[in-house]
């Protein structure tokens, strides 16, 4: 037990899990950040607690979700996204066609949704993302943070892919997401999985931590229990492959690990073409998938409280 209280459930029964740095943009030259695990709600959280102004320096304009990937990675992204579109079609085939995406990035996923005849809209805090969506897909995104967003519209589905982990207060975020849904509407979430093989194997170099941008870290039980508490019932849960997490772990170990033999070995691996590393990482993720994948997808339905 520590003196650091969980921001989700206010419990003091927390323990330090890892200490890491911003390896993605500040290349390990940042302050140290900690992740604590709460033994009561079974979720983790980043510490110290930072203001939006303090976090801004860790969100440069070239943050990876602000642009659309092209080439080989773009083809992989399209395949994965079309699979998500098919999942959405399955759940909304008889209930409605209005969707709202939180954190739309470049607008790429919304463009695929719109191609299927859905009425799709979204928001993106980044001006570069908003401009890209308008210039390339003709999509007008709301340019604001979710906390600032206000709408009288109600949607059949709200989508938040790798967004919830960025909130210091995920409870308030879920309450607001719920308020945007029609009765029996769906919420479709994707988040990194804290109780995964990837988190255990890669430790402080697991990209699922992505400190300090990721403020909350979810286990399967912790997320499902939290969603139930906030008025949702789970209708679909599945593990997701995260080969990019493995590619980045190789990169981080090759540059920042104190294990010299491993560091030098992975430096050699890191010289391979990106496409080769991505394919190999995908195969590795498939082999490891029975041991709890590093990412998880969940669809929940709004229920009356």
* Tens digits of residue pLDDT in 63-122: 655 555 566 667 777 778 889 999 999 998 767 789 999 999 889 999 999 999 899 999
For tokens 């669809």, the residue is 299
pTM: 0.93
Q: How far apart are CA 141 and CA 192, in angstroms?
A: 25
Q: Which residue has the tokens 């008025």?
A: 231
Task: Say how far apart CA 11 and CA 211 lie, in whole Å.
Answer: 22
Please name the residue that has the structure tokens 């589905």. 157
Examine the pLDDT at 228 and tell me if it is beyond 90.
Answer: yes
The reported pLDDT for the residue numbered 3 is: 83
pLDDT single digits (tens) 181-190: 999 999 999 9
Q: What confidence score (pLDDT) does residue 185 get?
A: 95
Q: What is the pLDDT of residue 79?
A: 79
pLDDT value of position 96: 78
pLDDT band at 129 (very low <50, low <70, confident <90, very high): confident
Quick one: which of 137, 183, 138, 129 has its CA closest to 156? 183
| Residue 75: predicted pLDDT | 74
Beta-strand ranges (E) seen in the chain are 14-20, 33-38, 43-47, 98-102, 119-123, 155-161, 181-192, 216-218, 232-240, 295-302
pLDDT of residue 73: 67
| Under 8 Å between Cβ of 14 and 36 | yes
**Encoded tokens for 198:** 């990837």
Percent of all residues in the chain with a pLDDT value above 70, rounded to a whole number: 94
**Residues facing 295 on adjacent strands:** 192, 240
Handedness of CA 9, 10, 16, 18 (dihedral sign): positive
CA dist 191 to 31, 139, 150, 180, Å?
24, 25, 24, 20
**Could you tell me if residue 42 is left (phi over 0), alpha (psi between -120 and 50 degrees) or otherwise beta?**
left
Query: CA separation (Å) from 2 to 6, 11, 170, 200?
Result: 10, 10, 22, 22
3-state secondary structure of 86: helix
Q: How far apart are CA 120 and CA 65, in angstroms?
A: 19
Write down the mean pLDDT value for the chain.
Answer: 91
Q: Residue 61 above 70 pLDDT?
A: no
Tens digit of each residue's pLDDT (9 = 90 or more) over 247-266: 999 999 999 999 999 999 99
pLDDT of residue 126: 84
């Amino acid at each position: 037990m520590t003196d650091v209280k969980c921001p989700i459930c206010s419990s003091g029964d927390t323990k330090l899990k890892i200490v890491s740095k911003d390896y993605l943009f500040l290349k390990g030259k940042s302050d140290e950040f900690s992740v604590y695990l709460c033994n009561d709600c079974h979720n983790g959280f980043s510490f110290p607690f930072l203001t939006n102004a303090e976090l801004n320096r860790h969100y440069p304009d070239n943050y990876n979700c602000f642009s659309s990937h092209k080439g080989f990675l773009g083809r992989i992204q399209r395949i994965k996204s079309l699979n998500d579109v098919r999942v959405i079609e399955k759940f909304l085939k008889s209930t409605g066609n209005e969707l709202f995406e939180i954190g739309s990035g470049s607008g790429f996923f919304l463009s695929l949704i719109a191609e299927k005849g859905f009425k799709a809209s979204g928001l993106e805090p980044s001006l570069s993302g908003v401009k890209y969506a308008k210039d390339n897909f003709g999509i007008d995104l709301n340019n604001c943070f979710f906390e600032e967003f206000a709408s009288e519209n109600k949607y059949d589905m709200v989508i938040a892919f790798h967004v919830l982990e960025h909130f210091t207060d995920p409870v308030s975020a879920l309450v607001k997401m719920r308020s945007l849904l029609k009765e029996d509407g769906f919420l479709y979430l994707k988040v990194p999985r804290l109780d995964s093989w990837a988190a255990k194997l890669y430790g402080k170099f697991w990209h699922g931590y992505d400190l300090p941008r990721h403020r909350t870290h979810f286990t399967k039980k912790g997320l499902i229990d939290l969603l139930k508490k906030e008025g949702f019932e789970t209708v679909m849960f599945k593990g997701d492959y995260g080969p990019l997490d493995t590619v980045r772990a190789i990169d981080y170990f090759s540059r920042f690990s104190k294990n010299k033999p491993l560091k030098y070995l992975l430096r050699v691996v890191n010289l391979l073409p990106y496409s080769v590393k991505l394919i190999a990482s995908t195969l590795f993720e498939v082999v490891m998938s029975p041991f709890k994948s590093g990412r998880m997808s969940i669809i929940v339905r709004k229920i009356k409280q």
